[in-house]
């Protein structure tokens, strides 16, 4: 399972076999079953999570009990509650497996130790944060400027794999479009 992470990280920076051994020694490998949680609201997010198999979703609960999907993370994706992980404060979101999933985990302390020993990992993570910021800005722009139809089309184009693996109501939740609107858009699209 760690080999999948190894392949990913060596494709994204200049890492030695020794670096990989050190990263492995400070990691935890975990299998979680569908519907199991890696994080629940109110807990401190202890891990930065790399998905080697399966699919996770992060979602927040509104006071009326509705679920709002912040993020899907499938193979070769990182996920965490950035703020809770960074500051070790209670999380406002939940991370749940939508399929049987395998992950590699690092604590904040382990990562800090790795950054000191492996500068390439620190700069990889800085690039990851930059990318996360760019993706967030793009999503905000789509949120405020796209029609519901455009949001739906964009999701299918951007995440074809996730689209096949999650129920439509979760796509609706991610896009901030009502389930009814999305069903109607899908029906119109299937007829045309």
**Cα(25)–Cα(20) distance, integer angstroms:** 9
112 binds its own copies (CB under 8 A): no
168 binds its own copies (CB under 8 A): no
C-beta closer to its own copies: residue 61 or 188 = 61
Neighbouring-strand partners of residue 72: 57
Indicate the burial class of 96 (C-beta count within 10 angstroms; 0-12, 13-18, 19 or more): buried
Site residues (CB under 8 A) for its own copies, limited to 117-146: 129-130, 132-134, 136-137, 139-141, 143-145
Number of residues forming the site for its own copies (CB under 8 A): 26
175 binds its own copies (CB under 8 A): yes
Tokens linked to 105: 């985990």
**Following DSSP, what letter does each residue of 63-126 receive, concatenated?**
TTS-EEEEEEE-TT-EE--HHHHHHT-B-SSEEEESSSEEEEEEEHHHHHHHHHH-HHHHHHHH
86 binds its own copies (CB under 8 A): yes
**Cα(16)–Cα(10) distance, integer angstroms:** 8
C-beta closer to its own copies: residue 40 or 136 = 136
**Which span (9-17, 27-35, 61-69, 181-189) binds its own copies, by CB under 8 A?**
61-69
157 binds its own copies (CB under 8 A): no
Indicate the burial class of 173 (C-beta count within 10 angstroms; 0-12, 13-18, 19 or more): buried
Tokens linked to 49: 């999570």
**Which span (19-27, 31-39, 48-56, 59-67) binds its own copies, by CB under 8 A?**
59-67
Task: Select from 11, 17, 25, 62 the one that contacts its own copies (CB under 8 A).
Answer: 62
What is the binding site for its own copies (CB under 8 A)? 60, 62, 66, 68-70, 82-83, 86, 129-130, 132-134, 136-137, 139-141, 143-145, 173-176
């Amino acid at each position: 399972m760690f080999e999948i992470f190894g392949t990913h990280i060596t494709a994204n920076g200049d890492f030695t076999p020794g670096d990989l051994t050190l990263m492995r020694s400070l990691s935890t490998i975990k299998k979680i079953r569908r519907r199991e949680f890696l994080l629940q609201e109110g807990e401190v997010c202890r891990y930065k999570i790399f998905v080697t198999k399966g699919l996770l979703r992060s979602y927040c609960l509104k006071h009326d009990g509705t679920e709002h999907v912040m993020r899907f993370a499938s193979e070769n994706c990182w996920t965490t509650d950035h703020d809770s992980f960074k500051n070790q404060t209670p999380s406002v979101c939940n991370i749940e497996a939508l399929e049987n999933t395998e992950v590699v985990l690092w604590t904040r302390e382990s990562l800090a130790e790795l950054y000191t020993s492996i500068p390439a990992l620190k700069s990889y993570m800085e690039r990851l944060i930059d990318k996360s910021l760019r993706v967030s800005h793009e999503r905000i722009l789509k949120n405020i400027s796209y029609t519901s139809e455009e949001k739906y089309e964009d999701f299918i184009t951007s995440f074809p794999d996730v689209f096949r693996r999650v129920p439509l109501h979760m796509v609706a939740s991610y896009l901030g479009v009502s389930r009814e609107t999305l069903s109607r858009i899908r029906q119109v699209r299937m007829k045309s």
